[in-house]
Amino acid sequence: MIKYDPKNWFNLIFHAYSKQVFRKLLPGMLGIAALTTLLTWVELRYFDLDMSTTAVHSMLGFVLGLFLVFRTNTAYDRWWEGRKAWGALVNNSRSLALKVEAFAKSEEDKVFFRFAIPAFAYYLKQHLRGAVADLLESQWPAGCNVLKEWEHKPNALSHLMYTRVKAMRDRNEISAEEFFVLDKELKALTDVLGICERIRNTPIPYSYSMYMKKFIFIYVVTLPLGFVTVFGYYSIPIVMLVFYILVSIELIAEEIEDPFGEDDNDLPTDTLADTIRRNVEEILP
């Protein structure tokens, strides 16, 4: 995730991210420029139109703008929901660690949760990215070798933590009330897992995404027909600018609608997972 000062306009305008977007869109912009040049030359050479035809594109532009607002709002809602879920994970991890420190009588149990709580955040982060988790087995405390047998590592850790809490209750090391308190905290971790998986596994509907891209393409490709009679060859840079703005908005929406990857605008899950590790290790030294 990019860290920046929102009050520094100059740095934002010339930030490297803007250059990355420009380089990504440059082939398309050159293609649009070539098409606009051809249409402008043909229209000015072979057609003698003396009236402006921008009214249609003005109306279509208004409709397209509404679609883009809805598109970016939907994508941002997914990004923000993911951020709230990871914020809840940080708080629930601290709360669980504090209660384990207060309730657990066995040092072995505290050592287990000192590993398991940060590991849950780490494995969740890797799971959401579709990446192979590489937490060294040498760091696993006793009883965690079963992790090797599970493909879904966050589920495996939830299972191990529930099993450990149940064993603590069976040994009468915690009361029934303390058991229910810990159960509530463990359920909160599972809820975060479910929210994140829902965001990751439910993309924007295909038909909507396809229609938006087609709408932008048709609008930009036909834009020279409406601008030539008014702007002549100046239509070329104007259409390129319109293409850059519209497609950039769509690219931003595509990037933030899946907030758990490693793109520039994705959530800082590495930092959040490290925060959980440091907090838990401080609570359960």
Q: Which residue has the higher pLDDT, 142 or 110?
A: 110
60-86 average pLDDT score: 91
Does residue 50 have a pLDDT over 60? no
Averaged pLDDT score across all residues of the chain: 85
What is the Rg, in whole angstroms, of the alpha carbon atoms belonging to the chain? Answer: 27
Q: What is the pLDDT of residues 187-232, one digit of tens each?
A: 999 999 999 999 999 888 888 888 888 999 898 888 888 778 778 8
Residues in the chain: 285
The Cα–Cα gap between 16 and 34 comes to 27
Q: Which residue has the higher pLDDT, 49 or 181?
A: 181
Percentage, residues of the chain above pLDDT 70: 85
* 3-state SS string for 52-80: CCHHHHHHHHHHHHHHHHHHHHHHHHHHH
Which pLDDT value is given to residue 278? 94
Percentage, residues of the chain above pLDDT 90: 34
Does residue 249 have a pLDDT over 70? yes
The Cα–Cα gap between 216 and 137 comes to 50
Q: How confident is the model at residue 21 (pLDDT cuts 50, 70, 90)?
A: confident
Q: What is the pLDDT of residues 87-96, one digit of tens each?
A: 999 999 999 9
Terminal CA-to-CA distance of the chain, rounded, Å?
Answer: 30
Which pLDDT value is given to residue 140? 64
pTM for this structure?
A: 0.83
- The listed range with the strongest mean pLDDT (28-32, 47-51, 269-273) is 269-273
Cβ(79)–Cβ(259) under 8 Å? yes
Tokens 């897992």, residue located: 193
Q: How confident is the model at residue 265 (pLDDT cuts 50, 70, 90)?
A: confident
Tokens 């940060």, residue located: 118
Q: What is the pLDDT of residues 162-177, one digit of tens each?
A: 999 999 999 999 899 9
